[in-house]
Amino acid sequence: MANVTLKNLTKTYPGQVTAVDNLSLEIADGEFLVLVGPSGCGKSTALKMIAGLEPITAGEVLIADEVVNEYASRDRDIAMVFQSYALYPHMSVFDNIAFSLQIAKVPKAEITRRVGEVARILQLEDYLRRKPGNLSGGQRQRVAMGRAIIRQPSVFLMDEPLSNLDAKLRVQMRSEIAQIQRRVKVTTIYVTHDQVEAMTMGDRVALMKDGVLQQVDTPDNIYNRPANTFVASFIGSPSMNLYRARLEGEVASCTLVLGGNRLAIPASVFADRAELAAKIGADIIVGLRPEDLEDAALLPTHPADQRLAAHVILNESLGSDHMVHFPIDAPLAKVSDQDSLDEIVVAEGVCIGRFGARSLVKAGQSIEVAVACDRLHFFDAATGLAI
């Protein structure tokens, strides 16, 4: 087992595409780090440089505190699981898992013992004699994991290993992989463009955009304290609603002017945001998570000065809750590259609230929306950085 350190790692492909730009990260021994970001942001390139499959333009990769830039892939003590996990079709599951040990001339008895142990961890004991063609997608994925685990590497590198699976199996496998990693405790770097995988699997999440690291933190902190508008809009589904707005008044009695709406901002909001008071009077970007908006009819005691007047244009009922769409007449804060996200594209100015199951609102109705004003997010209007 080993820690992994990236120091100012940079990759410029021929033609001057800087795919990874000055990436620095420290991944602790035994940690599960998820590298996430939109398509083309440089995730696979970063992983390939760690794996030794792509030459490094500048910077260093350290495994167990040793610079490995000049080491061949096979000398880095890593195991990889990729999206296409080509198994040997003519070999049994046992032989597929055992292959690297057989090549290394490990004694037969030890191979049998280690394959048995890996098969138990991966719940493949009943399938060891089968050929890959006679397995389900999830079982094949587990065989690919088994091939990686059996080598007892210092580091696992995984690049979208679940993207070939159907939605249900993906959900099942993502919890299995996370549990297996916690059992074997091998340092893991896991690449995905799926923010749900990132949030549910990682000890920490590193979010990239255009080759540049945006934030690295625990899933909770990434969600609750996004460093900028890009992180805020990438993590969470539906996305955080972002608008240009203005704060008026003073800390003790502050009002957020959001288009034609005025919302009272509790003084507590300023307590843990030292820079916010200085922004009173200036344009800012405000972020509202869908779950911080509620049908006011369900919250009769919600303060009158923390409500928006809204006209519902769409209610997507999911049974457990409702995604209610309503326009707000404030300018949307556009996040660059937003169109490359796998998000539902909403009409400009439309806000989405996640209302409780008991809400009865319908398209065409004028309603009041209760806003959890103590849970708003604030960003600098010029830089997009969190305040």
Q: Distances in Å between the alpha carbon of 339 and those of 153, 208, 211, 326?
A: 39, 16, 17, 21
Looking only at the bridges linking them, the beta strands covering 78-82 and 155-159 are parallel
User: Which candidate, 263, 250, 223, 255, places its Cα nearest to that of 239?
Assistant: 223
Range 23-82, binding Mg ion (CB under 5 A): 44
Residue 163's CB: how many other CB atoms inside 10 A?
A: 14
161: contact with ligand ATP by CB under 6 A: no
Q: What, of ligand ATP, Mg ion, none, does residue 140 touch, CB below 5 to 8 Å by kind?
A: none
Q: Which is nearer to ligand ATP, 17 or 309 (CB)?
A: 17
Residue 206, helix vs strand vs coil:
strand
CA separation for the pair 312, 318 (Å, rounded): 16
d(CA 10, CA 208): 13
Residue 49 beta carbon to ligand ATP: minimum distance, rounded to whole angstroms: 10
The interface with ligand ATP within residues 23-82 (CB under 6 A) comprises 37, 39-45
Q: How many alpha carbons lie under 13 Å from residue 273 in its C-beta half-sphere?
A: 24
Minimum CB distance to ligand ATP, residue 44 (Å): 3
Tokens representing 362 are 């319908």
Residue whose CB is nearest to Mg ion in the complex, by number: 44
Q: Give the one entry of Mg ion, ligand ATP, none that residue 363 binds, where binding means its C-beta sits below a cut-off of 5 to 8 angstroms depending on kind.
A: none
Least distance between Mg ion and beta carbon 140 (Å) = 20
Question: What is the total count of residues that contact ligand ATP (CB under 6 A)?
Answer: 12
Q: How far is the CB of 141 from Mg ion (least distance, A)?
A: 17
Q: If contact means CB under 5 to 8 A according to the sort of partner, which of ligand ATP, Mg ion, none does residue 289 touch?
A: none
192 touches Mg ion by CB under 5 A: no
Q: How far apart are the first and last CA of the chain?
A: 39
How far apart (Å, rounded) are the C-alpha atoms in residues 169 and 159? 17
* Residue 45 contact, options ligand ATP, Mg ion, none, Cβ 5-8 Å cut-off depending on partner type: ligand ATP
Report residue 379 as tokens. Answer: 């960003």
C-beta neighbour count of 244 within 10 angstroms:
16
Whole-angstrom distance, CA of residue 265 vs CA of residue 67? 51
- Residue 22 makes contact with ligand ATP by CB under 6 A: no
Give 19 or 367: the residue with its C-beta nearer to ligand ATP: 19
Q: Does residue 114 interact with ligand ATP by CB under 6 A?
A: no
Shortest Cβ 43–Mg ion spacing (Å): 5
- Residues found near ligand ATP in the complex (CB under 6 A): 13, 17, 19, 37, 39-45, 193
- Residues found near Mg ion in the complex (CB under 5 A): 44
